[in-house]
Amino acid sequence: MSESRERQVRYEDIQEAHDRLDDDTVVKRTPVEQSTSLGEMVGGEVYLKMEHLQWTGSFKTRGAYNKISQSVEEGVDEFVAASAGNHAQGVALAATECGAESTIVMPKTAPQAKIDATRGYGGTVELVGQDFQDAMSYAQSEAEGGDAEFVHAYDDPHIVAGQGTLGIEMDEDCPDLDTVVVPIGGGGLISGISTAFAHRSPDTRIVGVQAEGASTVHESLDKGMPVTLDEVDTIADGIATGGISDLTLDLIDAHVDEIVTVSDTEIANAILLLLERAKQVVEGAAAASVAAVLSPELDVRGETVMPLLCGGNLDMTMLQTVLIHALTDRKQILRLRVRINDAPGKMEEISGIIANHGANIHDVRHDRAVENLSVGDSYLVFRIETSGAEHAESIIGAIESEGYTVEDINQT
């Protein structure tokens, strides 16, 4: 760890940013709500910090405004940034509020909702490359060749200090926290929050969470230097940076107690769970913190724990994809392949079994052109809506009891 880098962000910097952000038209104080459902699941008390209800739908305005407002005071009037979505909106809003212009470079794969929102906050959007790293390289080259100041998403002490204002709020709202769980993309958010807690509540455990398909912190800590992935693969686009910086690595090393990783399936299930139990719509990055609390990797029994819901900018197409995946994982959407003698009445017979068990058939098809099927045999492939795994198993058992061979092709 570099001591000089750690000193680039002090608690005093976070407190000054907190004072600077004392304007609820730019950044509002977001609520904290207890989730009794999650608490029962994990055997502790769970309080959700609902930063997804921020004006831009994420925490990013905190750091962006802290950075841009100071630069504008020094005479800068044009800014450029790279973002997968949330930083884009934060920079656009902050620049507009400060009377400056902003150009945001976003990957072509960025959700359309985030592109539209960024333009709505006054930013000029350029779509470049297929991922965050492509957008970052282009934006940095544009800043080097012009008068605009580059606003990094996480590798900047002013950005980190601005994000750290969340740590002040979280501690003030729930001063007896045992554990705080924070998503990690580039590390600016957890660097700021952990620095704040190191000063205000050093006994609080700080846990960072990354998506499996974009996990870099474990290896970076092991090697003592930032590790960057060539490709990332996760539904949590808000933490799909594929790398951290020297600055954030040093702060994570100094102040973060534990790092866990979660799968996309766990993230999808957490999104669905928050919809059902907390009545909140969050994006994958935010749901990662709840997925970590529910993960066997993290034990919070008997603790007071606060997962940070850092963003709510979930594209509706992605929501549909996530819900289908999560419901399939729960077996509430079930696909069965039943081998039959292809004779009249077989579909009706099997459909009747399913109906008698209170399940709804979403669709069904015949598969006849399948290798190794006997002449005169075929498959019926059903997609069924059930109430869950136990219901699904009862349906499979009932069909098998009538002499049919049944495969659960959700698992294939």
Q: Residue 217: which of 247, 244, 182, 235 has the closest Cα? A: 244
The pLDDT of 43-65, averaged and rounded, is 97
* In the chain, % of residues over pLDDT 90: 82
Mean pLDDT of 305-312: 97
Q: Which amino acid is at 364?
A: V
Q: Is the pLDDT of residue 150 over 70?
A: yes
Whether this prediction's pTM lies above 0.85 is answered by: yes
Q: Which residues pair with 126 in a beta bridge?
A: 105
d(CA 119, CA 167): 29
Question: What pLDDT is attached to residue 223?
Answer: 95
How many Å apart are CA 4 and CA 12, to the nearest integer?
16
pLDDT in tens, 175-217: 999 999 999 999 999 999 999 999 999 999 999 999 999 999 9
d(CA 237, CA 234): 7
Direct distance between the N- and C-terminal alpha carbons of the chain, in angstroms, rounded to an integer: 46
Quote the CA–CA distance of 203 and 158 in Å, as a whole number. Answer: 25
Tabulate helix, strand, coil % of the chain (nearest 5). Answer: 45, 20, 35
The proportion of the chain whose per-residue pLDDT surpasses 70, expressed as a percent, equals: 98
Residue 5 confidence class, pLDDT cut points 50, 70, 90: very low
411 has pLDDT over 70: no
DSSP, res 292: H
Question: What confidence tier does 375 reach under pLDDT thresholds 50, 70, 90?
Answer: confident
Q: What is the pLDDT of residue 238?
A: 85
Going by C-alpha positions, the residue among 246, 92, 78 that lies closest to residue 150 is: 78
Fill in the DSSP letter of residue 387. Answer: S
Q: If you average pLDDT over every residue of the chain, what do you get?
A: 93
> Given this model, what pLDDT does residue 4 score?
46
Dump strand ranges (E) for 98-198.
Answer: 101-106, 124-127, 149-150, 179-183
| pLDDT confidence of residue 273 | 97
Mean pLDDT of 2-24: 82
Q: What is the pLDDT of residues 220-246, one digit of tens each?
A: 999 999 999 988 899 998 898 889 999
DSSP string, 10-30: -HHHHHHHHHHT--TTTS---
pLDDT of residue 412: 55
| Domains of the chain with CATH codes | 3-58+159-326 (3.40.50.1100), 60-150 (3.40.50.1100), 330-411 (3.30.70.260)
pLDDT greater than 80 at residue 403 = yes
Residue 298 neighbours by CB under 8 Å, 6+ apart: 181, 207, 258, 260, 292
